[in-house]
């Protein structure tokens, strides 16, 4: 009969070890099995109750006892050696013979019931381990790092949901802080330096602002004169209700159709104002206007990377892009 398992001390304290039943000295036995016990164990169904036997012990005994007597035939329990005698009564106890029988087939209801009970036991064990780790942390027996590493294995059910939610929140918070630090203003760190405020009244400033906001960055950098018909037609086309340059608000949240229509009206009226002003300008006034545009364009482009006074290195913006493309 299998002996009661012993607890292994040291770092593996608490694990169960099963020794071979033929390892004990007995009368009339010259050789005893020197097979070492192993800590890993598996459950074996014996009749109507569940016992635990070492998987390595099972393989150890099965490798001796079961011999293939022919192709296509079943195994015969005739194997033995000098350490495990063929007619030794130690082969007969139910918990030993159960190691050589295949597990009985269970119905779906029985499997579901066993799985449910296993999950309950595993949950209770994990909950108890969480409480033990919390006490150890409060008593200073383990560090916070050791606690965090160990507690991750105990996150089940509600604890796992709470842990996953906290992790997602921390990732979002970190990304937001990286974005803030990359564009932080020196005079007011809490102020959004790239606040998007669409113009509502037609004007020269509204015209130049919408040219900056609606142009591709590459095209914007190459635009020396914002008053050309090509530039105006390009922006008007992007603000057209028939253009899918900006998908509807319901699809991706860029801009609503109503806002798009309102911006188109402001820009069209601003085009009329800027055309009338350009037609009345002399050469000197036009030069001042283009210098004003060049300063605004450069400031707008640099603002996307921290502005003129920004101290953020270029690699930080690549890190932000990498976070956006990181798999979740």
End-to-end CA distance of the chain: 52
- In tens digits, what is the pLDDT along the chain, a chain of 328 residues? 455 445 444 444 444 456 777 777 777 777 777 766 543 343 333 323 334 445 667 777 777 776 654 455 455 556 667 677 777 777 777 777 777 666 667 788 888 888 888 888 888 888 889 889 989 999 999 998 898 888 888 877 777 777 778 888 888 888 888 777 777 666 666 777 677 888 999 999 999 999 998 888 888 999 999 999 999 999 998 888 776 665 554 555 577 778 888 999 999 999 999 999 999 999 999 999 999 999 999 888 887 766 545 567 777 777 877 877 777 6
Beta bridge partners of 44: 51
How does DSSP assign 102-114, residue by residue? PPPP--HHHHHHH
Beta bridge partners of 42: 53
DSSP alpha helices (H): ranges in 101-248? 108-138, 144-151, 158-182, 204-214, 217-222, 229-238
pLDDT at 210: 92
Do 66 and 79 touch, CB atoms closer than 8 A? yes
Helix (H, G, I), strand (E, B) or coil at 201: coil
pLDDT at 231: 93
Tokens of 311: 């101290």
Closest CA to 264 of 296, 232, 293: 232
**Calpha distance 67→222 (Å, rounded):** 84
Look-up of token digits 């996150």 = 155
Is the four-CA dihedral 48, 52, 55, 59 of positive or negative sign?
A: negative
pLDDT at 311: 64
Closest CA to 225 of 264, 281, 269: 281
pLDDT at 88: 78
**Calpha distance 165→38 (Å, rounded):** 39
Beta bridge partners of 43: 52
pLDDT at 53: 46
pLDDT at 218: 87
pLDDT at 308: 47
**Calpha distance 65→77 (Å, rounded):** 5
Tokens of 27: 């009368």
Burial of 33 (0-12, 13-18, 19+ CB in 10 A): buried
pLDDT at 252: 55
pLDDT at 69: 47
Beta bridge partners of 68: 75
Q: What are the distances in angstroms from CA 164 to CA 149, 157, 237, 270?
A: 15, 11, 45, 50
Closest CA to 267 of 313, 216, 316, 198: 198
pLDDT at 44: 35
Angle between helices 229-238 and 204-214 (to 10 degrees): 70
How does DSSP assign 227-253, residue by residue? TSHHHHHHHHHHTSTT--SS--HHHHS
The domain spans of the chain are 6-100, 108-182, 204-303
């Amino acid at each position: 009969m299998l002996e009661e398992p012993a607890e292994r001390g040291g770092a593996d304290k608490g694990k169960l070890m099963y020794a071979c039943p033929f390892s004990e000295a007995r009368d009339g036995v010259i050789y005893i099995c020197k097979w070492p016990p192993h800590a890993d164990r598996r459950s074996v169904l014996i009749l109507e109750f569940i016992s635990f036997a070492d998987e390595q012990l099972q393989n150890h005994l099965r490798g001796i006892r079961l011999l293939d007597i022919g192709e296509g035939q079943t195994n015969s329990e005739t194997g033995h050696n000098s350490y495990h005698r063929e007619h030794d009564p130690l082969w007969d106890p139910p918990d030993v013979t159960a190691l050589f029988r295949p597990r009985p087939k269970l119905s779906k209801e029985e499997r579901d019931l066993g799985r449910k009970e296993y999950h309950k036991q595993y949950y209770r064990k994990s909950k108890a381990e969480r409480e033990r780790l919390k006490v150890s942390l409060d008593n200073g027996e383990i560090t916070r790092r050791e606690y965090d590493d160990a507690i991750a294995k105990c996150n089940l059910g509600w604890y796992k949901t709470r842990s996953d939610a906290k992790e997602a929140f921390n990732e979002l918070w970190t990304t937001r802080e990286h974005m803030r630090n990359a564009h932080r203003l020196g005079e007011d760190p809490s102020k959004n330096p790239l606040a998007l405020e669409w113009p509502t009244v037609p004007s020269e400033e509204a015209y130049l602002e919408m040219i900056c906001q609606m142009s591709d960055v590459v095209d914007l950098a190459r635009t020396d004169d914002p008053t050309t018909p090509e530039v105006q037609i390009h922006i008007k086309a992007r603000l057209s209700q028939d253009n899918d340059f900006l998908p509807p608000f319901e699809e991706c949240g860029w801009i609503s159709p109503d806002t798009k229509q309102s911006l188109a009206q402001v820009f069209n009226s601003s085009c009329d104002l800027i055309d009338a002003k350009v037609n009345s300008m002399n050469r000197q006034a036009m030069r001042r206007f283009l210098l004003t545009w060049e300063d605004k364009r450069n400031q707008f482009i640099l603002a996307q990377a921290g502005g003129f006074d920004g101290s953020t290195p270029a690699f930080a913006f690549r890190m932000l892009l990498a976070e956006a493309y990181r798999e979740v």
